[in-house]
């Protein structure tokens, strides 16, 4: 069974647009868990344009499933993760001004840096994952960093699948197979949706977790959040 972690950044974006506390991100996290989600993901950025650093702290006692914090491991982010001690930290090489995540790590070039950061998190009993493009050489190099898992960056798959190109799954299948042989857990995320998740799940072996936010929240505007969470859970069985 692949776990569904709901990224609630968009809820924070909506809240921030009016300057108040509606919708309340902590209550939303509690609700999606009650509806069946097996995890909550947040991705705080330095400008706090959606999830704020205080949100990460406020969410900690209320997330009783998997708590996944994503981000670029700058000092402020590292300090936040060490303070909140989530279930998992997912390292993403975001530029400060990036609208959304748009590339995976170069695990060859950044091996020393990643190894140092991951070591610190693991000493604090925090599971680690590295955001990666579906490239075999990057998966191989990820092992040397000491990471527990990789998260495959799925934008390319989602785009090509939408065009009818189902062969776009092949790099993901191969990377997941290699990761499993090397002892790495496999997560995935970015632009996964109700339209493309079942095919992805069926063709990516040993998929442990998917993190879905933008599509899930958008689909919920029409179908309702409880219904959509359960639709994902059904497709991930």
DSSP per-residue string spanning 196-227: THHHHHHHSTTEEEEEE-HHHHHHHHHH-HHH
- What three-state secondary structure class fits 195? coil
Rounded CA-CA distance 28/12 in Å is 10
pLDDT at 161 over 60: yes
What are the extents of the domains in the chain? 3-235
Q: Does the active-site annotation cover 43?
A: yes
Q: Does the active-site annotation cover 155?
A: no
Q: What is the pLDDT of residue 19?
A: 92
pTM: 0.95
Q: Summarize pLDDT for 93-114 with one digit per residue, the tens.
A: 976 655 555 679 999 999 999 9
Q: What is the pLDDT of residue 70?
A: 97
3-235: CATH architecture: Alpha-Beta Barrel (3.20)
Provide the mean pLDDT of the chain.
96
Q: Summarize pLDDT for 181-205 with one digit per residue, the tens.
A: 999 999 999 999 999 999 999 999 9
Number of H helices, E strands in the chain: 11, 8
Q: Does the active-site annotation cover 70?
A: yes
- Which listed residue (38, 50, 66, 70) is catalytic? 70
- Which listed residue (50, 190, 209, 219) is catalytic? 190
């Amino acid at each position: 069974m692949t776990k569904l972690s709901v990224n609630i950044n968009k809820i924070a974006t909506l809240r921030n647009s009016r300057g108040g506390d509606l919708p309340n991100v902590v209550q939303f996290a509690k609700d999606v868990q009650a509806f069946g989600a097996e995890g909550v993901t947040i991705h705080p950025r330095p400008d706090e344009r959606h999830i704020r650093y205080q949100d990460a702290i406020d969410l900690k006692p209320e997330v009783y499933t998997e708590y996944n914090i994503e981000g670029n491991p700058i000092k402020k982010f590292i300090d936040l993760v060490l303070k909140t001690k989530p279930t998992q930290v997912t390292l993403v090489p975001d530029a400060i001004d990036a609208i959304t995540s748009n590339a995976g790590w170069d695990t060859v070039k950044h091996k020393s840096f990643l190894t140092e950061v991951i070591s610190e998190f693991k000493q604090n009993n925090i599971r680690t994952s590295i955001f990666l493009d579906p490239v075999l050489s990057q998966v191989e190099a990820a092992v040397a960093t000491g990471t527990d898992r990789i998260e495959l960056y799925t934008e390319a798959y989602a785009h090509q699948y939408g065009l009818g190109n189902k062969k776009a799954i092949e790099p993901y299948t191969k990377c997941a197979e290699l990761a499993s042989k090397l002892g790495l857990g496999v997560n995935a995320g970015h632009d996964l949706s109700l339209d493309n998740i079942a095919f992805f799940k069926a063709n990516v072996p040993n998929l442990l977790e998917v993190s879905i936010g933008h599509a899930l929240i958008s689909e919920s505007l029409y179908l309702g959040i409880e219904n959509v969470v359960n639709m994902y859970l059904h497709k991930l069985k």
